[in-house]
Every structure is written in C-alpha cells, then in structure tokens.
Amino acid sequence: MLKVTLLFLGFIVFFVLTLRLAVILMGRFAGVYVDKKHKAAETIVNTGRAPKDWTSKFERKIKLTKEAGGSPSRIMAIKEKARGTLLKKIDQLTEYFKASTLVQDEETRQILLNELRKARRRWEEEDWEEIITS
C-alpha cells in the first residue's frame, strides 16, 4: 500500500512539474509572438519599410537567382511573390491590431491601423526595391 501511495505521489509531483513547465514555455512563446508583431508594426510605422525578417528570405533568393544568371522574368516572378507575401503579412498584422487588447487606447489603435493601411497601399504600387528601401 505504501508503494502505491508513493508511486501515486510521485506521479502527481511529475504531472504538476510538467504542467508548470508547459505553462512557462507557452508564456514565453506567446511573448515572442506578441513581441514580433509589435516590432514589425513599429518598423513599418517608423520607416515605411517591411521588417527585415519579412524580406530577407526573398532578398537572398533574388540575389542567388541574379548570381546564377536567372532570367529577368524569373526575378520578376520572385519579386511579385514577395510582394504578395508582404501584403498578406501586413493584412494579418492589421487584423491582429484590430482585435488586440495590447493597444493603449482606441485613438492609438486607429492611428496604428491607418499607418498600416497607408503602408499597404504604398507597397501595392511600389517596386520591390522601393518597398525594402523606402
């Protein structure tokens, strides 16, 4: 009986510690997620450019294609795919801030959303180089 009780107690301790670790990790993952969203919005609002982590993959792909002697149509296709991805990401960011409770007040939310919408309209019209260096 004592063995069963100790085994049960050990299981409970293990379960509680595992659950605690899961909660800590989830908190960290959520913090990283929120931090990335807010830093992306800050970059877009302050510079008008897409965040580097949004564009670096495409910049690298364009560079490699140019170095490999890729055709202008292939490079243009990569740039258009990049533009579509950036527009999708800024749309997702806009939706995030529409619903986020981590905005100071409604006036701040409206200013932020307006700035994100302006950036999106600019990105629809600009060339890839202008988006990453504007």
- For the chain, the distance separating the N- and C-terminal CA atoms, rounded to the nearest angstrom, is 73
pLDDT at position 104 is 87
Residue 90 tokens read as 């800024």
More confident: 48 or 40: 40
Instruction: Indicate the pLDDT class of residue 70, thresholds 50, 70 and 90.
Output: confident
pLDDT at position 127 is 82
Report whether pLDDT(134) > 60: no
DSSP letter assigned to residue 101: S
Least confident residue range of 22-36, 51-65, 117-131? 117-131
pLDDT tens digits, 83-130: 999 999 999 999 999 999 888 899 999 999 999 999 999 999 888 777
pLDDT at position 133 is 64
Total structural domains within the chain: 1
Contact between 97 and 41 (Cβ < 8 Å): yes
Helices (H) and strands (E) in the chain, counts: 5, 0
The whole-model pTM stands at 0.79
Distance set, CA 12 to CA 29, 48, 69 (Å)? 26, 53, 62
Residue 15 tokens read as 């379960």
pLDDT at position 98 is 94
Instruction: Indicate the pLDDT class of residue 68, thresholds 50, 70 and 90.
Output: very high
Q: What's the CA gap between 64 and 52, in Å, rounded? A: 18
Report whether pLDDT(72) > 70: yes
Containing domain of residue 127, as a range?
Answer: 2-133
Contact between 78 and 65 (Cβ < 8 Å): yes
